[in-house]
């Protein structure tokens, strides 16, 4: 069976997150510069090997002052740790359109296991004859697991930032067939 390499279609993908702010609403952000590579036997994504790398200097919340703070050692320390990395470990089929993705997330030099939910759309042929697959990826992580503990206590006694970060991403991959003995 041919191995298939899948590369990111960056124009149609986004790597996003949300975190509680002042415990009353969410602040959304994204990482603008990232790359995903996947390799599958045939078109079987349940046996995929997936590697995501992201440039943490490209993190944005559409607020320059907040983004500068996120780049600092209070949060991501992007000068010392410029890259985020996710490597898949295994994938379980939930049903024909849903997977549970297990992997290791490296952030700020700390690697921890995480579990993500993946909704798979299917492989389609696009308007130019290329084949692509689409995925919606969601999950939750605790920021303190990666040493991101900065917070402030407000006058009400509430904290300014939640502990849980929700991952909400949409990924499109483009198909490339590798030779049989690659």
**pLDDT tens digits for 81-140?**
999 999 999 999 999 899 999 999 999 999 999 999 999 988 888 888 889 999 999 999
Q: 69 is in which domain, residue-wise?
A: 3-177
User: Total structural domains in the chain?
Assistant: 1
pLDDT tens profile 8-22: 999 999 999 998 777
* CB-CB neighbours of 130 under 10 Å: 12
Predicted model pTM: 0.90
Residue 173 lies in a domain: yes
Start-to-end C-alpha separation, the chain: 11
Q: Is residue 182 part of a domain?
A: no
Supply the CATH number for residue 153's domain.
2.40.128.110
**182 or 12: which carries more pLDDT confidence?**
12
* Residue 179 pLDDT level (bands cut at 50, 70, 90): low
Please provide the DSSP assignment of 112-179 as one string: EEEEEEEEEEEEEE-TTS-EEEEEEEEEEEEGGGGT-----B-TTS-BSEEEEEEEEEEEEEEEEEPP
56: tokens are: 């943490």
């Amino acid at each position: 069976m041919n191995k298939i390499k899948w590369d990111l279609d960056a124009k149609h993908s986004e790597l996003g997150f949300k975190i509680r702010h002042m415990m009353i609403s969410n602040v959304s952000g994204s990482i603008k510069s990232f790359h995903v590579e996947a390799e599958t036997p045939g078109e079987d994504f349940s046996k995929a090997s997936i590697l995501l790398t992201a440039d943490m200097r490209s993190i944005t919340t559409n607020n320059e002052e907040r983004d500068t703070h996120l780049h600092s050692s209070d949060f991501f320390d992007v000068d010392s740790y410029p890259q985020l990395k996710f490597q898949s470990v295994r994938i379980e089929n939930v049903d024909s359109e849903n997977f549970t993705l297990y992997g290791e997330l490296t952030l700020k030099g700390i690697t921890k296991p995480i579990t993500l939910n993946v909704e798979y759309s299917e492989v389609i042929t696009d308007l130019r004859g290329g084949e692509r697959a689409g995925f919606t990826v969601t999950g939750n992580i605790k920021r303190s697991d990666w040493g991101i503990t900065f917070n402030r206590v407000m006058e009400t006694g509430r904290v300014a930032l939640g502990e849980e970060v929700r991952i909400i991403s949409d990924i499109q991959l483009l198909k490339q067939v590798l030779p049989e003995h690659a």
